[in-house]
Amino acid sequence: MTLAIDIPATSGKTERNGVLRFVIRLFREKPLGAAGGVIFILFLLCGIFADVLAPYGMNQISPRNRLMAPSWAYPFGTDNLGRDMLSRCLYGAQISVIIAFTAASLATIISIAIGILTGYLGGKIDLITQRFVDAWMSFPDLIILLVVVSVLGPGLPQIIGTLGLLLGIAGSRIIRSAVVSVRENMYVHAAQSIGASTGRILWRHILPNIMPPIIVLFTTRVGTVILAESGLSFLGLGVPPPTPTWGGMLSGSGRTFMFQGPWLALAPGLCLTIVVYSTNVFGDALRDLLDPRMRGSR
Amino acid sequence: MQAYLARRLLALVPALFFASLIVFVIVRLVPGNVIDMMLAQNDVGADKLSRDQLIATLGLDRPMWLQYFHWIGGILFHGDFGRSLWQNTPVRELLGARLPVTFQLGFMALIIALCIALPIGIYSAIRQDTAGDYLTRSFSILMLAVPSFWMGTMVMVFPSIWWGWSPQVNFVAFTDDPLQNLKQMILPAIILGTALSAITMRLTRTMMLEVLRQDYIRTAWAKGLSEPLVVIRHALRNALIPVVTLIGLQAPILIGGAVIVEQIFVIPGMGLLLLDAISQRDYPIITGVSLVIGLCVMLINLAVDLSYGLLDPKVRYR
């Protein structure tokens, strides 16, 4: 028992050192990826503190200042109702952060659950599940999203649930292949031979050893979710207006006013591109450092 | 080869079964109040008669498994996808009219993607770590991040402001006026194609780098062959297989992207059909379109597997 108390104390310390060392390595070996990580964290902070950072309310209408070009008072300009685009972009980041993290977490958990079970147990369950995943993956993400949202109606929980399920099933492949390669290791056989329960083996022996692909999967999912959500909002099936979303700001009534105020088309698109770009390079760098086997896959 | 083809076609059966089940179950999740919503939305009038009619048309009054067999049986034996709820036209006709348009868009996008990705990918590999290599690689990662609907929006907005030019939105069919049609489709195809080219470019580069380090390439150089001959005939053919596989894997992304591009440029393809059907909650069309798209993706992947034999003489189908 004393041993069990001692171990977490020391391992916690080395783990913290390990994280620090990893961050230093990231900056040294993958400067672009590290820059992506910094932008990614900035995006997170913008989302979390949108209420504090935004100079105006997200739906604060000011008819006198309709369609103002970018200026000091309105750095990103104003839209056709005189709403400040910078504030709306910041609140849009908030929605993106909420959806990205919940949906990517849900997706990763589903991937882990399916991937570990089918990869470790194998046999008929694996075969049938894999055929199902095949069929599932033959539908474009956007098509499934559109169909499900058309059935359930647009809204935050529906989008998070669908995206989570959608990407979760697709991502189970990556986890499964990681599990299959870990399954045959000596320590797993050792655990099996001393009669450890399946649950214990999965939790204590398999899961910790597939952490690198899980972390990479999660990071890449964040970018995918942001893009998918904005695509859905662009098509008018995302989080309903007047809640500002980056995709939604590029569609709907705003589109007709873009010809008078082209900055309406610039700001949300730039936000999207920069955030997705930085999650991509950050994810790539993490993958190269954590899991060299996954290099070149996406 | 024939035995292989037969086996692959047979393997499509369970995949299609699951696919049809997915489509069917998702759409049958329709909660009861959605029927009221459909009635309200489409001004059919919420009287008792049309409500029952609607339920009967959707076949929702029968048990689920019976509905499934009725639906799948209709498709398998009569090619009958049901009728559109609001236009009362057979879904098959709609699909027949829209499929070629999306197919053309996808095909053009694919050609454009390859025209961008292959030369740049090869260049990037044979000039590894030069400024050009870094430039093209950064460009490709950037292209992955630019959403196609944003690019489409900018193409609509900025040329119109600067030069008063805007893309034509009245669709002209290829059979009516091929030149006009190509002129109209080229811009959406470029937008779809550049998005697709990014990943292809990266993989082409990676594969070329790997192949260029092989012994037979060194032999080819040692024989004194010219650079184009070594690169194209000896290296590219061997690097191409994973690239072709990737194209198959990207088929769903291509079709998903087509939905958005069709919406922006008002191209009457499968994507626009689906979006219209979704806004009208026309479920027979939604199921029909989804199933056909799923089938297309599976067939594309089959075609990709079969093309290995043409590309790589080492591959034999058994």
Q: Give the model confidence (pLDDT) of B136-174 as tens digits.
A: 888 887 888 888 888 888 887 777 778 877 777 777 777
**B window 34-63, beta carbon within 8 A of A:** 34
What is the pLDDT at residue A103? 92
pTM exceeding the 0.90 threshold for the entire prediction: no
* Mean pLDDT within A44-52: 80
**What pLDDT tens digit does each residue of chain B (318 aa) get?**
677 778 778 878 888 888 888 888 877 765 555 566 666 655 544 455 566 776 776 666 777 777 788 778 877 777 777 777 667 778 888 888 888 888 889 889 989 988 988 888 888 888 877 888 888 888 887 888 888 888 888 887 777 778 877 777 777 777 777 777 787 888 889 888 888 888 888 888 888 888 888 888 888 888 888 888 888 777 887 788 778 878 877 888 888 888 888 888 888 888 888 888 887 777 788 888 888 888 888 888 888 877 777 776 666 665
Using CB atoms, pick whichever of A135, A250, A277 lies closest to residue B149: A250
Looking at beta carbons, which residues of chain A come within 8 Å of B102? none
What is the secondary structure of B112-148 as a DSSP string? HHHHHHHHHHHHHHHTTTSHHHHHHHHHHHHHHHS-H
Q: For residue A135, which residues of chain B lie inside 8 Å, CB to CB?
A: 15-19, 21-22, 294
User: What does the pLDDT look like over A159-189, one tens digit per residue?
Assistant: 898 889 888 988 888 888 888 888 888 888 8
Summarize pLDDT for A178-235 with one digit per residue, the tens.
888 888 888 888 888 888 888 888 888 888 888 888 888 888 888 888 888 888 888 8
Backbone torsions φ then ψ of A273, nearest 5 degrees = -60, -45
Task: Tell me whether B29 touches chain A (CB under 8 Å).
Answer: yes
Please tell me which residue of chain B has the smallest CA distance to A141: B256
Identity of the amino acid at A264: L
Are B128 and B209 in contact, with CB atoms under 8 Å apart? Answer: yes
d(CA A41, CA A130): 36
Whether A94 shows a pLDDT value over 80: the answer reads yes
Rounded Cα distance, B257 and A140, in Å: 9
The nearest CA of chain B is from the CA of A104 a distance in Å of 17
Asked if A250's CB is within 8 angstroms of B18's CB, the reply is: no
* A298 pLDDT tier (thresholds 50, 70, 90): very low
Residue A296: its pLDDT value, please? 45
**pLDDT of A90 above 80:** yes
| Separation in Å, CA of A116 to nearest CA in chain B | 22
Residue pair B201/B116 in contact (Cβ under 8 Å)? The answer is yes
C-alpha dihedral (B65, B71, B75, B77), degrees to nearest 10: 70
Over residues A98-155, the pLDDT tens digits come to: 888 899 999 999 999 998 888 888 788 888 888 888 888 878 878 888 888 877 777 8
Whether the predicted pLDDT of A1 surpasses 50: no
Contact A273 B145 (CB under 8 A): yes
